[in-house]
Structure formats: structure tokens, C-alpha cells
Amino acid sequence: MSYKLLTAALILFLVTGIGPDVRAQASEDSAFLRRLADVILTDGKAYEDLRVLTKTVGPRLSGSAGYYKAEAWGQKAFQAANADKVWLQECMVPHWVRGGRDSASFEVPSGAGTVSRASGRHGLDILALGNSVGTGPKGITAPVVLIHSFEELQQRKDEVKGKIVFYNYPFNPTFVETFRSYGDAVRYRVFGPSQAAKYGALAVLVRSMSHSVDNNPHTGALVYNDSFPKIPAAAVGLQDADKLAAAIGHGGEVRVFLRTPAHMLADTAAHNVIGEIRGSLSPEEYITVGGHLDSWDPAEGAMDDGTGCVQSIEVLRAFKAMGYTPKHTIRAVLFANEENGGRGGDKYMEEAKAKGERHLFALESDAGGFTPRSFSMGVSDTQLAAIQPWLKLLRPYGVYEFAKGGGGADVDPMQKLGVAVGELRPDSQRYFDYHHSRKDVLEVVNKREMELGAFNMAALIYLVDKYGWEGGL
Amino acid sequence: MSYKLLTAALILFLVTGIGPDVRAQASEDSAFLRRLADVILTDGKAYEDLRVLTKTVGPRLSGSAGYYKAEAWGQKAFQAANADKVWLQECMVPHWVRGGRDSASFEVPSGAGTVSRASGRHGLDILALGNSVGTGPKGITAPVVLIHSFEELQQRKDEVKGKIVFYNYPFNPTFVETFRSYGDAVRYRVFGPSQAAKYGALAVLVRSMSHSVDNNPHTGALVYNDSFPKIPAAAVGLQDADKLAAAIGHGGEVRVFLRTPAHMLADTAAHNVIGEIRGSLSPEEYITVGGHLDSWDPAEGAMDDGTGCVQSIEVLRAFKAMGYTPKHTIRAVLFANEENGGRGGDKYMEEAKAKGERHLFALESDAGGFTPRSFSMGVSDTQLAAIQPWLKLLRPYGVYEFAKGGGGADVDPMQKLGVAVGELRPDSQRYFDYHHSRKDVLEVVNKREMELGAFNMAALIYLVDKYGWEGGL
């Protein structure tokens, strides 16, 4: 047998399954999943749910009026999906407010103007970072220092006192998976402000984490280090970041003006919104599927994470619409406060622990409603190998990979209880065009891509519910 | 060895390759492809090429002034890409013109109005079908007959004489791959007009082939059967199609008014635009990569098929930029007249045949610049099995499947010469939101998705050039 024929035979072997029993089960599952897909693709409610959430609720940052409207929306959506039980789970959340319009500009000293850099004042489109403090009504005006990395900051630490630090770290285009670029760059947003404050900086600007071709700034949370002064910080769009960097590069003292009215209020009560289908065989054992209900204030939170919420509701609705009762209890959870605290996910885990609940799996969708490609799985190597045969069932619907990895930020705390977690990993190319920016609106969601994500989530839950982590078929 | 361990071992075996030699080659190829990806993802010119094509040339239907501007653009783009040779290949193409604004409306008789259907006149957003005849300046007003399928048309053939037939065949949402829905529905657009004319219909309206959530009509070519009168025909957007169907469903005679100034002019000369890198070892053997340069008139032809053109140019440019000379001569072809005649593809094949050229492969990109998933391959089963090991090289960049199938419409004629063909198959969910409608503009293209398509095309050509159809690594 030649190498080529051997390869072909092996592939055939993997694709068609092992023996007659396995094939029969795969065929039964395949038929079930086809019906499930039909329910979601022809009569799905996720897109209409998302329309109502984005267009009638809109932005819903923790503690905002929008968040409480969203809680009410979520309860109604679960009821319309025929959940057996719908309830709220309270947790305390931070309450940050933008407080008004952010503004910024930079000034090139007169006489220092060149063809590519006019002297005078140039506006900067910015968004204050979440959790940041404001500048006071007069704003801050100071010379700006261009910094490309924390290593450079360390080397030039004596230059930043009394100045504004501008982190211009690029979103690496050579990573095919954009979440890798994000993971690589986001430390400048999260930790950059306190790192600069450590050396006496007055404020921070940070290049937005995005491959977008426009100038929209992308906000997101920072985390202050209490050892250093809390200084204001804002994200700059890519085109403005390039202009500012070019202006600084030409030499001469470039001064930046920054004004943001952002501030933190006292913690306030908010809720995870939970809907449930009671299991037929092991109702005291749970499978969780969720997204997060809160979203940043500049837009509608369609991709982050409206789609994850409506997909999770759709999993419940589709099972109910088919008259299918899983063995285990399936909970869909719309988590509170993922964006700037993670308190909803923590609370869900803490209550599960306090009640001694048994959880089989917790799955999240928080990477956008894009066309599905894979699932990241926080399971053991043995479990990961055991579930590989499921891929032939998912592949016709776009998922071709179970990759070792974590779940989403809201379900990852469940790992502390030894619970297997996972996350839908749709195609990542467009996510950071919209993420935390004014462009995260319903219109960037393709209805069918999002529905296919919902289907694959429901399919994986069906398989985990039926076979557990023994896998196989 | 348990079943699970066996499966895991087999997967490992397939993923890691077979022996040390194979692994060394795979590693060399893997390193080359990484550099190729870097060239395209960090310093790619495809998006800027596309911007110039869409924003300075725009619509470019065969015979239009836009098409000749596009030919000039293509030659310049090949020169900028450092092609060794750039030339035009002439062919005669049909020259259809829309001729002005299309208009249509339907009228519900007074007294027949209901809550859901007001009496009176309702506008319809339409686009005349490509190749269609016009109505004359006064338009056509006639009762409309709602038809759901050719079977129904056959059964009700006595009812359509002197009327306007409205084909309201749905775009099937249960097909995950939207090109299947298109293949299923497009016969009503292509053949529906003559089928209706056969029974004396005066004109045809056809439901647009799309899953879109808006009301944009989607045009496209029809083919008249010379045995029957040529009657005007137009596409209706989905929302208007639903309204019209609902109005007809309520009973009473609904009349449609249709006016289109469309008409066909005499055939005219146009050109395939070709750029070439001369091969180092077998320069007289060719590999072709292409897209089609013509596009429908309502928009910019960004996805159909601007992306295929600029991706093909990028394949040449990237090889040149890396200083890489393939063994065979690589030709990038911007084909003429795919949309309403296919004359460019025919001409390319005819000239290859007349000159006795030897062609190893002809690859097309005409399914949009979306995130890549697979290649459709018009090769033998043995060849298809032989190239499977290549997938592990492409998988990090999104392509995980070689599927048996055809090439694109422009390269398929090469199959008559026994040439292997293929087509990039990106994710299909969004394609028919834009296809042949006013929405097919630059702004719906994601730069990186399109670049990843270009990379995978270049990678496949590199592999075919290096290993031929023996495959392996």
C-alpha cells in the first residue's frame, strides 16, 4: 500500500467512523442535528432577539440604566423561549461612567510645521478607557512622549514625569488569529496607565487594539495598580495614532490636550439573568451556556456580546421548540459585568460552590456572532481526544476543530470547581474592527453566521449531554 | 489499544506527517509559507488595488466605458506588481445596457384593501435582469400571477397569457452552503423569463436570490430561449417580494406596472488582462490564477469579483516581492465577461488549445473575498487523495478542506483540455447579501479576510508548482 493510498484509507476511516454501531449512532445524531439546524436556520429567533436588544436597549454598561433594561429584556426573552424557569442572580458590580464627551488634540509648535505635519492644533478622536478617572473640567495639557513598549518605557522612565505617555504598540498583523494580537497588545491598555503613573506621567493615550481601516477609537477596561496615582487614560483611533506618532517623530515638542469627565461611582447591585430547561435524567447536574449581558457605552454591544446572549437563549428555545428534553439541566446565563469587573461570572461560580451544585460543562460565546470555526475546550487531553469523533457531525455546519484552551471570561471561574469549560471560536478577522467601538451595532452582524454559531453551541451541548466526556458516539 | 487512543494516535499520525524526510520538507514549506503570509498580511497591496478599482473605476459591465478603464487599471496593477510580462487578449463580448432607471409598482384594487394590504399603488424596488429587453417608454401594466415553481407554472400555464409572472421561489435557508441555495433558485432568474413567455406572459418579476435582511434587488443574467418571445424581466428585493406575494394572496386582481429601458447592443471587443511570471524550470508549462474583471452595473463589483482580481495580482506580486521564481510560468488572468457571456474564459481556453499550450492547473477566486475555508478541486480522485497532506500547511491560515468540485466559471473551460481546475471557497454566508446588488462595495470587504484568501491561493499554487499532482510533501 503506497503512502498516498494509506493516507486516503486513514482519512476515510476517520471520516466514516469505526464500526456499524458507531455508524448507526452517528446517523441518529446526524439526523437530530439536521432537525436542530432547520429549527435555528429557518425559524430562529436569535436575530430578532438581537434586534430588540440592540435597538430598544442599546448600550448597557454595568450600573447604567441600560443594564437594568437589558435584565428585563433577558427575562422576557427567556420566557418567550419557553424556559422552564427564569430568575435573577444578584451581584455587586462597579459603576463607571463616561460622564460626557471626551476630547483631545495635539499641537505642533509653530515653525516646526513640515509638508507632512502642519503646525497648529489637530483633533484626536478618543474614548476614555473604562474604569479610568477623569481629567477635571479644564483637562490636562502636557508634552507627549511616544512609547512603543514597556521595555522602552523602562529605558526612558526619566523622561515621562509631568508628561502624557502615548503607547503606540501595533496590533500584530502576522498573527492569523486576531485574539493573539489582542492578547499581545492589550497589556498596554490594561496596565499601561499605572506603569506610566509609576514614573510620574500625568495621563496616557493608547493606540486602539484593532486591524480596522477606519479611525474609530476602541475603549476597554484598564486596571489601576493602587501603589501609583490613578491617571486619566484614553484610546486613540488608528489613523490619529499614526498622525500623532508622525508628528512626534518629526521632533520638536508636541503637546497633547486631553479632557475626559470619566469617573467611578460606588458599586451597585446588578444581576445575572438565568433561564433553565430541567433535565429528564439528571436534573441536579448542570450544563451552562452563556454570554455576557453588559456592553460598552459607545454602541449597541451587538457582537460584544449581544450575539452570545441571543445564541445562548436560542439553544434553550430550539430544544424546547423541538420538544427535546436533555438528560441534564441546561442553563443559559446572561452574565453581568464581564467588561469591567467579571463579577457576574465570579458570582455564578461562588453560588454553584456554596450550593454544592454538580456541573458537567460551561460553554460561552464571547468572540462575536461570526461564522463558526472551532471550539476552544478547557478539558483534559483524554477528554479532548475522546470528543474528536464529534467533529464529523459538526463539520457540515462549519466547526472542524476542538482546540485545547480556555472558556470565556464568564465561565472560566468554573474551572476552579473542576468543571470543563469551552468557548465558541468563530472566525476572528472582523471582531476587532468593531470591538468596544462605535461600530459594534446590529448592522455588522450577519444573521446566518450568528445562527450557525447558535446551532453549533446547541449541537455541542446535545453531544456533551448525551455522551458526557467519555466522548465517542 | 482502546478506540479513543486509536483515534488519537491516528489523528496525531495524520497531523504530524509520516517520516523524517516528509517532516523536513513540511518544515521547509511551512517556513516558506510563513514568509509568504507575512508578505501578504503585513505589506499586502491587494486592498489598495481594490480601493483603486472600486473607487476610481467602479462598475464595469462588458462593453461599458468602465470595463475599458478597468483594463487599463489591470495593466497598471500588474506592472506595479512587477509581472515579467503584461498583455491583453482580445475577445468579442455582449454589450447589454440598463439604459436608465428601472421602475415598477403594484396596485391593489380599491375596496380590496385590508389592514395588511392597503388599496392603491405600492412601489417596487427592482433591477432589470442582465441581457433582458426593455418594456418601451410607456412600460407594461398587466395583472400579475404568483408562481412558486416551474411545476406550478406548468399546471397553471393557461392563466399566464397577457399577464406578468412573478416567480417567488425562496432561497433555501436549510442549505448551510449558500451557493447550493443559489444553484437551486437561480434557474428562475436564468430560464424563468422564456418559460413564462412560452405561455404568453408579457413580463417577469423574480424574487432576488439572497438571504439578506434588506430590500435590495439582486440582478444577474438571464438566458433567452430563441423559440419564444423575448420579454422584459426584473429582480425584486425580498421585502417587496413578500409584500407583493401577500397582496396577491389576499385575492382580487393585483396589477403590476413595469418599465425598464434595458436593451442589448451589438457585440464589441474587450480583453482578458494577463500578467505573468516566467518559470525557472518549465517556463512552457503554465499555472493560471484568476478572477473576472467585469462586474454588474449597480455597484462597485467589490466582492464580485474585484477581490478575485486583486487576490490574483497579489499572488504574482508576493512571489516577486519575495524574490521567489516558481518552476512553471504563473499567469494571473483578469477575465472578461464572466457575468453575462463567459467569453473571456472561453477565449483563454481556445487560445491555449490553438497554441498547444501545456497547462498544469487553473485556479479561480470568484466566491468573494471572505475568510477562506476550502478549495474546490476539479482533479481526479487519486490526485485529490494525494494532495490531502498539504492541508496541514494551509490549516493555520484557515483552509482545512480540498473538496471535489469544479473551478470557477472562467477556468472551467480549461477542463475540456484536461487541465486540473480549482476555486477558492471562502465562507459563503455573506456573499449573497451583496451579490449583484447595490451593496457590493469596498466597505463590505474585510481587508484581512481577503488577504488570507490571497495567501491561500498563493500557497496552493506554490505547492502545485513544487510537487505537481503527485502531491505528498
- Min Cα distance B8 → chain A (Å) is 6
Reported as a pLDDT band with limits 50, 70 and 90, residue A148 is: very high
C-alpha cell at A354: 456554596
Looking at the partner chain, which of A7, A13, A429 has a beta carbon nearest the beta carbon of B385? A7
Residue B296: what pLDDT?
Answer: 98
pLDDT digits (tens, 9 = 90+) for B184-195: 999 999 999 999
Partner-chain residue, chosen from A4, A433, A452, that has the shortest CB–CB distance to B446: A433
Question: For B391-414, how does the pLDDT look when each residue is reduced to its tens digit (9 = 90+)?
Answer: 999 999 999 999 999 999 999 999
Q: Quote the pLDDT of residue A10.
A: 39
pLDDT score of B269 more than 50: yes
B chain contacts of residue A385, beta-carbon cutoff 8 Å = 4-5, 7-8, 11
pLDDT at A12 over 50: no
ipTM of this predicted structure: 0.92
Q: Any chain B CB within 8 A of the CB of A391?
A: no
Name the CA radius of gyration of chain A, rounded: 24
pLDDT tens sequence across B96-110: 999 999 999 999 987
The reported pLDDT for the residue numbered B119 is 77
pLDDT at res. A252: 87
Strand ranges across the sheet with A126-128: A120-124, A103-108, A255-259, A140-147, A164-167, A203-207, A233-236, A126-128
Chain B interface includes A433 (CB < 8 A): yes
Neighbour tally for A111: CB within 10 Å? 7
C-alpha cell belonging to residue B236? 425584486
B42: cell is 503585513
Which of the following is catalytic: A71, A338, A364, A451?
Answer: A338
Q: Is the pLDDT assigned to residue B19 strictly greater than 50?
A: no
Angle, CA of B269, B270 and B275, to the nearest 5°: 145
User: What's the pLDDT tens digit per position in B376-391?
Assistant: 999 999 999 999 999 9
* C-alpha radius of gyration, chain B, whole number: 24
Name the residue with higher pLDDT: A19 or B395: B395
* Active-site annotation of B, residues: 338
Q: A288: which 3 cell numbers? A: 451552562
Q: What is the DSSP string of B380-417?
A: -HHHHHHTGGGHHHHGGGT--EEEE----TTTGGGGGG
Whether B8 has a pLDDT exceeding 50, the answer reads no
The pLDDT value recorded for residue B79 is 98
Contact B10/A5, CB-based, under 8 Å? no
Ranking A8-12, A81-85, A404-408, B95-99 by mean pLDDT, the lowest is A8-12
Distance (Å) from the alpha carbon of A173 to chain B's nearest alpha carbon: 6
Annotation marks residue A338 as catalytic? yes
Q: Which residues, 6+ apart, have CB-to-CB distance to A196 below 8 Å?
A: A147, A153, A160, A165, A204, A231
Neighbouring CB atoms inside 10 A of B340's CB total 23
Here the cell at position A58 is: 442599546
What is the C-alpha separation between B55 and A145, in angstroms, rounded? 37
- Nearest CB among B3, B10, B433 relative to A10 is that of B10
Structural contact between residues B410 and B351, judged by C-beta atoms closer than 8 angstroms:
no
Query: Would you state the pLDDT for residue B110?
Result: 74
**Nearest neighbour of A174 by CB, restricted to B14, B42, B400:** B42
Task: State residue B151's pLDDT score.
Answer: 98
Mean pLDDT of B279-285: 98
What chain A residue is nearest to B448 in terms of C-alpha separation? A429
pLDDT for res A111:
66
Contact criterion met (CB below 8 Å) for A133 and A193: no
The string of pLDDT tens digits covering residues A217-258 is 999 999 999 999 999 999 999 999 999 999 999 888 999 999
Lookup: cell for B80: 506595479
B427 and A398 within 8 Å at the Cβ level: the answer is: yes
* Average pLDDT of the segment spanning A416-426: 98
Number of neighbouring beta carbons within 10 Å of residue A398: 23
- Min Cα distance A54 → chain B (Å) is 16
The chain-wide mean pLDDT, for chain A, equals 94
- With CA atoms as reference, the chain A residue closest to B383 would be A4
Q: Which three cell numbers stand for residue A271?
A: 444581576
CA A360 to chain centroid, in Å, comes to 23
pLDDT for B278 equals: 98
Confidence category of residue B21, pLDDT binned at 50, 70, 90: low
pLDDT at A19: 46
Chain B residues inside the 8 Å CB shell of A211: 447-448
Is residue A432 within 8 Å of A181, Cβ to Cβ?
Answer: yes
**Is-cis flag, bond preceding B305, omega within 30?**
yes
What value does the mean pLDDT of chain B take? Answer: 94
Domains and CATH numbers, chain B: 17-95+266-470 (3.40.630.10), 103-261 (3.50.30.30)
Which of A176, A384, A392 would you mutate first to test chain B, the one with the most B CBs within 10 A? A176
pLDDT at B85: 98
Cβ distance A10 to B13 less than 8 Å, yes or no, reads yes
Asked whether residue A22 carries a pLDDT value surpassing 80, the answer given is no
- B211–chain A Cβ distance below 8 A for any pair: yes
Would you state the pLDDT for residue A473?
A: 78
Q: Could you give the 3-state DSSP secondary structure of residue A379?
A: coil
Three-state DSSP state, A229:
coil
Which of A42, A211, A446 would best serve as a mutation to test chain B binding (most B beta carbons within 10 A)?
A: A446
CB-nearest partner of B385 from A4, A176, A449:
A4
State the Cα–Cα distance between residues B217 and B208, nearest whole angstrom: 6
pLDDT at A113 over 60: no
Q: What is the pLDDT of residue B14?
A: 42
Q: Give the pLDDT score at A15.
A: 42
pLDDT of residue A116: 53
* pLDDT tens track for A267-304: 999 999 999 999 999 999 999 999 999 999 999 999 99
Cis bond upstream, residue A125 (ω within 30)? no
The structure's pTM equals 0.93
Q: Does A173 touch chain B (CB under 8 A)?
A: yes
**Closest alpha carbon within chain B to A47:** B213
User: Can you tell me the mean pLDDT for B412-435?
Assistant: 98
DSSP state string for B18-63? SSHHHHHHHHHHHHHHHHHHHHHHHH--HHHHHHHIIIII----TT
Question: What confidence tier does B5 reach under pLDDT thresholds 50, 70, 90?
Answer: very low
Contact list, B430 vs chain A (CB under 8 Å): 446, 449
Question: Is the confidence at residue A440, as pLDDT, over 70?
Answer: yes
- Is residue B297's pLDDT more than 90? yes
Burial readout A211-246 (b: 16 or more C-beta within 10 A, e: otherwise): bbbebbbbbbbbebeeebebbbbbbbbbebbebbbe
What CA–CA distance (Å, rounded) separates B50 from B27? 33
Q: Is A223's Cβ below 8 Å from some Cβ in B? A: no
pLDDT at B22: 61
What's the CA gap between A263 and A95, in Å, rounded? 9
